[in-house]
């Protein structure tokens, strides 16, 4: 269950490959130490930046000391399976969307405004639900998903910037977004706490996080036991999806204030990914000590 990636220019080649170290080694004299993201679909360049620091392709240390590698690539999952998963992802979610999740997206995303950064935009299921006047920055770390996202953006005639980057390491400056969107994404990222900290970093004070995420079932329930039992095979099948994350606690732990929280089920989906939360949260202004 995922969605998201991008195209980097300035240092990206015509085929959309990610820039290599040699590409970034010698920026033009007098230019800032960053590379503008290319704008294939019409949004002006310069808002998204691939920082020439450690914000991309890095090791992130979680609070418990565990290190995770944050890069925009297949990781331990084979590239072949990632391509196959992207190819049937839309078909996999078709009945779920028709049974109610499309209406849920419409309800949640109607609250988007201004500059919107979407985490893990996948193949673009959200594109038809955004208000027409928002500025879209669509982040997706998986190349097969990103290509389909670009195609869908073109098909719908929307302007937007598709950025190949993971949620934990957004190549975007601080305080630029009015809205951050995460729909069926935090289950898949390597480090959801880091992803949510990044969401707060890029949001303006008072900006909104809009979310739809499947989560852990209540402790002691049969579904929770099934989630634990089937976690590893499900994760292998679903390109890294974790079926029992405590996402509400992670949102609060990142410092967001939850304004609206609803609970339900992801329609016509396997029971181990059926428990669902959706709603909105606000990134409060930082308070000085």
Give the model confidence (pLDDT) of 200-231 as tens digits: 999 999 999 999 999 999 999 999 999 999 99
Percent of the chain with pLDDT over 70: 72
Output 190 or 3, whichever has higher pLDDT. Answer: 190
Interior/surface letters 122-152, b for 16+ CB within 10 angstroms, e for the rest: bbbbbbebbeeebbbbbbbbbbbbbbbbbeb
Q: Give the pLDDT band of residue 64 (cuts 50, 70, 90).
A: low
Beta carbons within 8 Å of 143's beta carbon, 6+ residues apart: 5, 72, 73, 82, 164
CATH superfamily, region 21-282: Vaccinia Virus protein VP39 (3.40.50.150)
pLDDT in tens, 98-124: 999 999 999 999 999 999 999 999 999
The structure tokens listed for 157 are 């005639």
- Whether 49 shows a pLDDT value over 80: the answer reads no
Global confidence as pTM:
0.75
d(CA 275, CA 263): 8
């Amino acid at each position: 269950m995922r969605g998201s990636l991008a195209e980097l220019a300035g240092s990206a080649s015509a085929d959309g490959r990610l820039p290599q170290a040699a590409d970034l080694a010698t920026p033009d004299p007098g230019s800032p130490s960053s590379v503008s993201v290319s704008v294939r679909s019409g949004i002006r360049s310069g808002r998204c930046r691939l920082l020439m620091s450690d914000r991309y392709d890095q090791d992130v240390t979680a609070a418990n000391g565990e290190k995770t590698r944050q890069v925009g690539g297949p990781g331990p999952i084979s590239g072949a399976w990632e391509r196959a998963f992207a190819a049937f992802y839309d078909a996999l979610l078709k009945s779920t969307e028709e049974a109610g999740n499309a209406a849920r997206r419409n309800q949640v995303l109607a609250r988007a405004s201004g500059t919107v950064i979407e985490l893990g935009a996948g193949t673009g299921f959200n594109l038809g639900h955004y208000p027409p006047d928002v500025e879209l920055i669509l982040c997706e770390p998986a190349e097969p998903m990103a290509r389909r996202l670009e195609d869908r953006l073109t098909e719908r005639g929307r302007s937007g910037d598709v950025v190949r980057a993971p949620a934990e390491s957004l190549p975007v400056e601080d305080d630029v977004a009015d809205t951050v969107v995460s729909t069926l994404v935090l289950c898949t990222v390597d480090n959801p706490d880091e992803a949510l900290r990044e969401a707060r970093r890029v949001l303006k004070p008072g900006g909104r996080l809009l979310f739809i995420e499947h989560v852990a079932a209540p402790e002691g329930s049969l579904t929770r036991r099934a989630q634990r039992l089937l976690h590893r095979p499900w994760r292998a099948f679903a390109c890294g999806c974790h079926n029992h994350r405590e996402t509400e606690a992670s949102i609060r732990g990142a410092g967001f204030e939850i304004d609206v929280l609803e609970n339900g089920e992801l329609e016509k989906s396997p029971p181990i990914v059926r428990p669902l939360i959706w709603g909105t949260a606000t990134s409060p202004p930082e308070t000085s000590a």
